[in-house]
Amino acid sequence: MENSIKEVSKTKKEISVSVPFEEFDKFIQNTTDKLVKEVEIKGFRKGQAPRDLAIKNIRQEEILRQAASAAVNQIYPEIIKESKLEVIGPPEIEILKLAPDNPLEFKAFIFIMPEIGLPDYRKIIKDIKSSEIIITDEEVEQAFKQLEEMKDNIPQEQKDRIKFDDPEELKRVLKQEIRKEKEVMEKGRVRNDILKLISEKCEFEVPEILVSVEKHRMLEDIKRNVSQVLKVSFEDYLKQVKKNEKELEDSLTGEVTERIKRIMILGKIQKTENIEATKEELEKEIQGFLNHPVNAKIKDQIDQKALNAYLKERIEDEKTLQLLEGMIVNN
Encoded amino acid at 282, one letter: L
Q: Which of 6, 28, 29, 25 is nearest to 16 (CA)?
A: 6
pLDDT digits (tens, 9 = 90+) for 156-180: 888 888 888 899 999 999 999 999 9
Q: Domain locations in the chain?
A: 2-112, 121-273, 274-331
**CA dist 215 to 5, 105, 228, 246, Å?**
29, 33, 20, 11
pLDDT digits (tens, 9 = 90+) for 116-125: 999 999 999 9
Confidence at residue 329, expressed as pLDDT on a 0 to 100 scale: 62
pTM over 0.85: no
Confidence at residue 188, expressed as pLDDT on a 0 to 100 scale: 95
Q: Are strands 2-9 and 12-19 parallel, antiparallel or unpaired?
A: antiparallel
**Per-run averaged pLDDT (10 residues), the chain, 331 residues:** 93 96 96 85 75 82 95 96 92 96 97 94 90 94 92 85 89 95 95 96 94 95 92 93 95 96 96 96 93 83 91 96 85 44
Confidence at residue 44, expressed as pLDDT on a 0 to 100 scale: 76
Class of domain 2-112: alpha beta
**CA dist 207 to 114, 257, 282, Å?**
7, 9, 29
Confidence at residue 331, expressed as pLDDT on a 0 to 100 scale: 44
